Structure 1
Amino acid sequence: MTHAENDRSAALKIRGMTYPLTLQLSLYADLLRVMQGIAPENVYVVVPWANFVPQTFRVADYGAFFRKARRAAEEATGAGSGEHYPEPTEHCDICRWADACQTRWRKDDHLSLVANISKSQIAELRAHAVSTTKALAQLPSPFPWKPDRGSAASFEKTRAQAHIQVSAREAGELLYDLLEVVPDTGLCRLPEPSLGDIFFDIEGDPFIGEHGLEYLFGYHYRNEAGDYVRLANWAFDRNTEKAIFERFMDFVTSRREQFPDLHIYHYAPYEPATLKRLMGRYATRESEVDRLLRGNVLVDLYTVVRNAVRASVESYSIKKLEAFYGFVRATPLREANVALTALQVALQVNDVVSVSDEIKAVVATYNDDDCRSTEALRDWLEQLRTEIIASGTAVERPAPEKDEPSEDLSESEARVAALIGALTYNVPVDVAERTAAEHGKWILAYCLDWHRREAKSNWWEYFRLGDLTSEELLDEKAGLGGPI
């Protein structure tokens, strides 16, 4: 009799066999081989969203990859290989040694401290004996050599970023530069402010259940009197996740009837990506989401900032920029992080009852801070735009986009929606709650418009890539940038 590895700790990580999980389970299997003298045929992962039924993975399928990775690790850590530097990785966000590494990087003036620098740029700079932020800042302009990968312009941008960070560090003050105004980028992406504008932020966790959960939709706007109105909608299960998504989309649709020129401001691409994902997951409010995207109603201030301002920050996170526009948070970030962790852990283990009102209040205030900060950032960018125009430089507004599909398409959508509604009447939202017959009806219903939905997603991606600058495309895996 042999033992097979049954891993519950991996349950919160698995979304298909990613290579870190492959290595983890393969190592467990190899340790069992040593202990019992025979290798287990399979390894198993127990996941809570599948009623704790183990998922089976055949060890031999991953054996060659594991042996190659193990051999490389053994060679890298072998005797006489010297000290290994703590290079930044994705794991740093949750590593208990993060503070120690941060101290080391600052002591060494590590190149990773430069905002938006890539690993390939760091490697090339080191190959040319440029190993610190200050050394990078002191390189001449234009850039002194032709990069092996990427454009000289992208390296020049990184050099300029290092220069402003080093200058601010030595001066002991915040610094920023306004970048050259380029049509259709930066400040030229700011639409005319409207009384109907909405400021939007979503809180979610990809490790809740099999597909993650968006547990808080927060947004605010100004009423006719200019007073602040805050909405926060919670979801702790699939039914309410669908409900808060639909509630937000219905709110936006209704508000656009009153304010056709409104825009929804957010920071970074998470919000539009989430709206598209929830639309696909629940096959609801498809036309409404499509109209937001067609009409460029969603405004990502991160892309505006990156192409409008060079700031003395190590990261262009909105929280790092708040000092420039004087925003002060109501909830300290450390307190917010504690509450976020407690909430997400409770949801991951399906222990909703342990989520106290105090925890929810802290998370809601943190989310509200993000929404208010987004509005304050928009106002600061508008102020910068006004200053540039006053200096004699034109800064155009983006042209309005048509958001309505053709009349024939609208009629087709209405007919399909009616059929879907009839087929899915009383079918539970959560797949785990459906019978086999109900799930079959659900699949049949959403096959009706499958091809058009898939084509729509491809067009969304096409236009998303089309909105990126040539430099942004260099770091975009789905697109091509630079001379081709």
Structure 2
Amino acid sequence: MVGYAHAIVSASDYLRVIGPADLVGCRYRLVQRRRYPSAPRSDSSLMRLERIKLAREVVLDCLPQRPALGDGRSQRFIRIDIARVSLEEDSFAAELATLEALAAEATLITGAVFTGESENTPWRIDVDILVRQPEGTYLPVIISNHRVARAAPGQSTPVLATGRLGLGKIVNGAFRLRHHAGDGHRLAFAARALQDLDLDSGRGGLIGQDRSRAFIVDTDHFQEPLTVALTSALPAGPRRVKGCASCRFWPECESELKALDEISLFLPGDRARSLREAGIETVSELVEGNRGELSALARAWRDGVPLLRRVDQIEVPAAEVEIDIDMEAYLDQGAYLWGAYDGERYRPFVTWESMDSDAEAENFASFWAWLMERREQAHAEGKSFAVYCWSANGENHWMKMSARRFGGQRFGDLQVPRQEEISEFISSSEWIDLFRLVRTQFAGPAGLGLKIVAPVAGYTWADGDFDGEASVNARRLARGVDKQAMEMRALLLRYNEDDCRATAAVRDWLRHGAPGTPRL
């Protein structure tokens, strides 16, 4: 590792410099960033930047400004906040301010910037918080929108309250850490910068979706993965991956891929690895390659056919009382909207309050009470009953998670169900994952998402380009009380209703024999 060289980055040469985000996911983005420096950020990217900006604001507001009562008046405490600069801006002033704050032995430093060079690669790292340790070293703390830890009885993880950074002592909490490569790279870069200044504590902090806690980790085990990433050669050309659709360079990459008829257009990521090893590099080669279903799907993709039928006779369960539901969650923090459509009326159970609160618990209790009341009424009338959703993983997760977090809590006549009640329902024949039924009877060259299948069934969304990424941003804006917040609330309810109605439309289409779908 080359020694620390501060202020090496100027506004004119920032394109040479890499950051942690350049080392995860598609590495060809770095090539394209240098080739097309003026390409504007995508809407999805701007939304993510806005969310992390808000996260930083929340956390920085929680940090102490001075010792609290009980800390003792004699305790030394200095907090220095450095104005944050974007990757495209000259970092000289921010980096100089960082060095001055370190020289002043500040207790807390926010907005720190370091540049350096490792493996002949210049880099820059922005560190959200630096916390001075008793021995004079510094603990780098990063803010992330990931869920960096979960409660786990019996586990022991070092943790420190955000509001006590620089003042409190680290304690052990019952949590299990969750690793994210990008977060690890950020802490590894920060540790390298501090090590070059002989100020590295050997540990770092992670503040995730739970803004109230910093989880403490050793940074040594992040160093080898960072070195591997830094020394890996950049790709010679693009390949389609999951995140391409939201990338600002996708128009350029797509053009290159189409010119090559590159197989990743049809099989993104590593899905075509075995085919490449067999010498198949293009979609046309796969179509003509006699690879059974895979070749048939490649042909359908090339011809613009969204669905192929696996079976002659379509089967889908039916009941006298049928309800379609769809859930919306905010990141990994909680479910705020449970929508239900009974064939006549859409009914939303929604809260715009913060997650992990009484409001979220009461909202789920209301939804559950309504659903179970409909179930009991059907049974009392001697009618069959079924609840449908599209891909039950999300609904199952948040029903079980809500019961685990809030089970047994009462709100007047309402009570949050316990985990046993949830398990009984989702394991019953009355809870039907329509996606699983479709997957056994159809194949789709671009997958079998609801937004692929429902249009074939004749259903269209009122807001066609609104998706999961946009819904996360809309939920953040919907928490306000202004006109924009009201518009976002209406949009989210409309989006959720469309998902419920689309599921019902697919069921109806299936029962009519799924007209218009060719046989595989």
Same fold (TM over 0.5): yes
Shift of 1:380: 0.9
Aligned position for 2:495: 366
- 1:32-65: per-residue Cα shift (whole Å, max 9, x none)? 323x1443322123457353x53322223x2xx5
Separation of aligned partners in 1, 2:307 and 2:515:
16
Query: Deviation string for 1:168-210 (max 9, x for gaps)?
Result: 24xxxx464321369xxxx44x21242x211111111234xxx
Summarize deviations over 1:357-385 as a string: whole Å, max 9, x none. 11100111011111111111111111117
Q: Aligned match of 1:276 in 380, 393, 400?
A: 400
Moved more, 37-46 or 17-26: 37-46
> Runs of at least 4 residues of structure 1 off by over 6 A?
385-388
Match of 1:58 in 2: 218
Is the CA contact (8 Å cut-off) linking 1:234 and 1:240 kept in structure 2? no
Name the SS for the 1:197 alignment partner: strand
Equivalent AA in structure 1 for residue 359 of structure 2: T
| CA–CA separation in structure 1 for the residues paired with 2:387 and 2:257 | 38
Residues 279 and 309 (structure 1), Cα distance of their counterparts in 2 relative to 1, 3 Å cut: same
Tell me the residue number matched to 1:71.
227
Q: What code does the residue aligned with 1:383 have? A: H
2:485 aligned partner, one-letter code: S
1:14 has 2:135 as partner? no
1:96-147 alpha-carbon deviations (Å, 9 max, x no partner): 4344434444443333333xx585541100011111222212112xx4xxxx
Counterpart in 2 of 1:263?
A: 386
Which of 508, 515, 518 aligns to 1:379? It is: 508
Opposite residue 142 of structure 2, the aligned amino acid is D
The AA in structure 2 aligned to 1:245 is: F
The answer as to whether partners of 2:142 and 2:186 remain within 8 angstroms in 1 is: no
State the Cα distance separating 1:386 from its structure 2 match. 9.4
2:301 is aligned, of 150, 165, 181, to 165
**Conserved 8 A contact 1:339-1:359:** no
| Alpha-carbon offset, residue 89 of structure 1 | 4.3
Instruction: Note the C-alpha offset of 1:338.
Output: 8.0
Match of 2:402, SS state, is helix
Q: Match of 2:358, as an amino acid?
A: N
Displacement of 1:13 in angstroms is 4.9
Secondary structure in 1 matching 2:340: strand
Please state whether the residue corresponding to 2:342 is helix, strand or coil.
strand
- One-letter code of the match for 2:195? R
Q: Partners of 1:372 and 1:96 in 2: how far apart?
A: 32
Of Structure 1 and Structure 2, the greater helix share is in: 1
Alpha-carbon deviation of 1:352?
Answer: 4.7
CA distance in 1, matches of 2:142, 2:387: 43
Q: Which one-letter code corresponds to 1:44 in the other structure?
A: G
Instruction: State the distance in 1 between where 2:364 and 2:451 align.
Output: 26
Q: Secondary structure of 1:289's partner?
A: helix
Q: 1:276 corresponds to which letter in structure 2?
A: K
> Retained in 2: the 8 A contact 1:339–1:362?
no
1:110 matched to 2:262? The reply is yes
Does the aligned pair in 2 maintain the 1:198–1:265 contact within 8 Å?
yes
In the other structure, the counterpart of 1:343 is 474
Residue in structure 2 matched with residue 233 of structure 1 by the alignment = 349
| Residue 285 to residue 128, structure 1, CA distance change in 2 (3 Å) | same
Please list, as runs of the form range in 1=range in 2, the aligned pairs for 1:280-319 lying within 5 A after superposition: 280-283=404-407, 284-286=416-418, 287-311=420-444, 313-319=445-451
Residue ranges of structure 2 left out of the alignment (5+ in a row): 1-135, 150-176, 408-415
Residues paired across the two proteins, number: 336
1:230 is displaced (CA, Å) by 1.2
Change (3 A) 1:242 1:298: same
Match of 1:216 among 337, 344, 366: 337
Per-residue displacement from partner, 1:317-356 (whole Å, max 9, x unpaired)?
A: 211223311112112324x668624334458xxx655671
Whole-angstrom CA distance in 2 between matches of 1:99 and 1:371: 32
User: Which letter maps to 1:376?
Assistant: A
For 2:207 and 2:299, the matched residues in 1 are separated by 50
Q: Distance in 2 between matches of 1:48 and 1:138?
A: 48
Contact 2:323 2:341 in 1 (8 A): yes
Instruction: Summarize deviations over 1:282-341 as a string: whole Å, max 9, x none.
Output: 234244423323322121121122221234x5232211223311112112324x668624
Unaligned runs of 5+ in 1: 144-155, 223-227, 389-484
Distance 1:386 1:93 in 2: 30
Q: Distance in 1 between matches of 2:226 and 2:146?
A: 24
Percentage of matched positions with identical amino acids: 18
Shift of residue 213, structure 1, vs aligned partner: 1.2
- Report the aligned-residue RMSD: 3.1
- The DSSP-based 3-state class of the residue aligned with 2:328 is strand
Is the 1:339–1:363 Cα contact (8 Å) retained in structure 2?
A: no
Show CA shifts across 1:202-257 (max 9, x none).
Answer: 111234xxxx11111111113xxxxx211111123321222222222222221122
Please tell me whether the aligned partners of residues 263 and 272 of structure 2 are also in contact (alpha carbons under 8 angstroms).
yes
Residues 280 and 92 of structure 1: is their aligned pair in 2 closer, same or farther, counting only changes over 3 Å?
farther
Query: Would you say the 8 A contact 2:207–2:214 is kept in 1?
Result: yes
Q: Contact 1:272–1:298 (CA<8 Å) still a contact in 2? A: no
| Mapped partners of 1:202, 1:289: distance in 2 | 15
Contact 1:205–1:214 (8 Å) recurs in 2:
yes
Q: CA–CA distance in 1 between the matches of 2:255 and 2:319?
A: 42
1:97 corresponds to which residue?
249
